[in-house]
Amino acid sequence: MADRGFTSSTQAVPAVGSVPRHVAIIMDGNGRWARKRFLPRMAGHTRGVEALRGTIRAAIERGVEYLTVFAFSSENWRRPADEVTFLMQLFIKSLQKEVSRLHENGIRFRVIGDLSRFEPLLVKAIASAEEQTVGNTRLHLTVAANYGGRWDVLSAVNRALAKTPGLGEVTEEAITAELSMSFAPEPDLFIRTGGEQRISNFLLWQLAYSELYFTDTLWPDFGADALDQAIASYRERERRFGRTSEQLTAADDVGQHA
């Protein structure tokens, strides 16, 4: 981790700024948005893509460096087959339509999750979008698809073990380096729309010290204003990382706490 310049929040206290460097969002509530309008759930998913577009734009304008969004969980395969198929098609279509715009806006696109269950067309579209945007640095946009936090930690532990000669101990650094978000600092701000207050197997390891923000706003209604409200709430938090409030004030006095 250290070679990438990111601090593990449990090993050292990371720098804290007024804008969250990394925002992670569970985009929830598409189905309920549609149901309220007597529309099929799929209409909610389609509008959800538009909400994501607006949120990406707003995140860039506010200076967020990493935006990570949960699009499809490893448990979402349990949904009706027609909804799963629709979501996969929507993912392919959105990628094909949006990738050049992402690139023009300097966005580096990545997908995290187990891609092995996706159809080849989708895997190809993902690989090509990742390749096309590999040199961009303005915003790191990561879409979690067929992602599960437990899968991520387990895969990382197994990879770390495979690299450990003999039966040595696996360290926190070794696991962190193998996680699918090893390229990013830990999320400063976690947002879940749609009113539920749970993690639903999102970034379990990385959310250890993230500020959690829950809103009843349904994902298709989310955008710049809603992001600003979340960031405003974030700014009011005191990120202590185990320390006391007095210690933070003392650090402020000597200019160590941004």
Number of H helices, E strands in the chain: 8, 6
Q: Does 149 contact ligand IPE by CB under 6 A?
A: no
Find how far residue 128's CA is from the centre of its chain.
Answer: 20
Q: Which of residues 179-208 bind ligand IPE (CB under 6 A)?
A: 194, 196, 198, 200
Residue 32 or 257: which CB sits closer to Mg ion? 32
Q: Which two tokens stand for residue 86?
A: 């629709």
- Is residue 188 flagged as an active site residue? no
* Cα–Cα distance list, 130 to 49, 74, 113, 123, 204 (Å): 18, 21, 14, 11, 24
Alpha helices in 73-216 (DSSP H): 81-104, 120-132, 149-163, 172-178
Residue 23 or 177: which CB sits closer to ligand IPE? 23
From the list Mg ion, ligand IPE, none, which binds 149 (C-beta under 5 to 8 Å, kind-based)? none
Residue from the set 87, 99, 179, 248 that interacts with ligand IPE by CB under 6 A: 87
For helices 81-104 and 41-62, angle between their N-to-C axes, nearest 10 degrees: 30
Q: Which two tokens stand for residue 173?
A: 């650094």
Catalytic residue, from 28, 30, 146, 188: name it: 28
- Is residue 152 flagged as an active site residue? no
Residue from the set 58, 64, 65, 72 that interacts with ligand IPE by CB under 6 A: 72
CB of 234 to Mg ion, least distance (A): 23
Q: Does 32 contact ligand IPE by CB under 6 A?
A: yes
From the list ligand IPE, Mg ion, none, which binds 136 (C-beta under 5 to 8 Å, kind-based)? none
Residue from the set 28, 152, 188, 211 that interacts with Mg ion by CB under 5 A: 28
Q: Does 28 contact ligand IPE by CB under 6 A?
A: yes
Looking at the DSSP assignment, which residues form a beta bridge with residue 140? 66, 108
> Tokens 């829950």 map to which residue?
214
| Binding footprint of Mg ion on the chain (CB under 5 A) | 28
Catalytic residue numbers read 28, 76
